Amino acid sequence: HQEIYQIKELASADLIQSLKTGDEQRIASDKLRVQDALAADLAKRSEAKQLIMQADDKNDDEDADYVFIHFVTRNLPIGLVGLLLAVIFSAAMSSTASEINALATTTLVDIYKRNIRSSEDDAHYLKMSKAFTIMWGVIALIFASTASLFENLIEAVNIIGSLFYGTILGIFMVAFFMKRVRPIPVLIAAIIAEVVVITTITLSELGILNIAYLWLNFIGCALVMLIAQILHTLLDQE
């Protein structure tokens, strides 16, 4: 792998020089060298993964999730490695605790207290808040176990987030910049936008469409704002 890396590095440097001189014949030749080096690199990685799976078929042969931690452990001083790992764990634990607490509070106040049991005492609501916290913690554990099946955890998180980020952003954009729009049109627009986003990524997974998942953020946000404005105008005319 190191030999291939050196060949790839030399071929890339030669290609840069060829591009600067504008020699089309050398550019084509150097491009082929770079492509051959990349192909050899992929073949060597595939061979290494096969050896890993032969040694332990339950091992994780995907290296994309380990790029950052490999860089940290190999290139930073020992003291900084420990500090950075502590910061990562602290940030993860803090974010997880805040999210679960917020979900439990929202479930209690906006769903349970408003629609199910609206006249209980504080002790009852405190008990239910703890129950909702445990419920969302279990859901988070199930999601974490399922997400490990994806090839790349970072990509999995971004894909799942893209299903909802655009719609949520659209609601906030309407609230900030389209203050005359009433709640009902925004709610309907959010539901329609979410259906469109889920349909889009489903068709993309089936190969019918070819849209990168990051575009779902823009699509969801734009649809919420556009549909909310149209519905607001129509309802006002009636």
Taking the CA atoms of 44, 46, 47 and 49 in sequence, report the sign of the dihedral they define: positive
pTM of the model: 0.56
Over residues 161-190, the pLDDT tens digits come to: 888 999 999 999 999 998 888 889 999 999
**pLDDT per residue of the chain (238 residues) written in tens, 0 to 9:** 889 889 989 999 999 998 888 888 889 998 999 999 999 998 998 888 888 788 876 666 566 667 778 888 888 888 888 888 888 889 888 988 998 999 999 999 999 998 888 888 889 999 999 999 999 999 988 887 776 666 666 777 788 888 899 999 999 999 999 888 888 999 999 999 999 999 999 998 888 888 888 899 999 999 999 999 999 988 876 5
Burial 164-175 (b: 16+ CB within 10 A, else e): ebbbbbbbeebe
pLDDT tens-digit series, residues 139-159: 988 887 776 666 666 777 788
C-beta of residue 26 within 8 angstroms of C-beta of residue 18: yes
Task: Please give the angle made by the CA atoms of 161, 163 and 164, to the nearest 5 degrees.
Answer: 75
* Residue 68: φ, ψ to 5°: -65, -50
Residue for token pair 């479930």 = 107
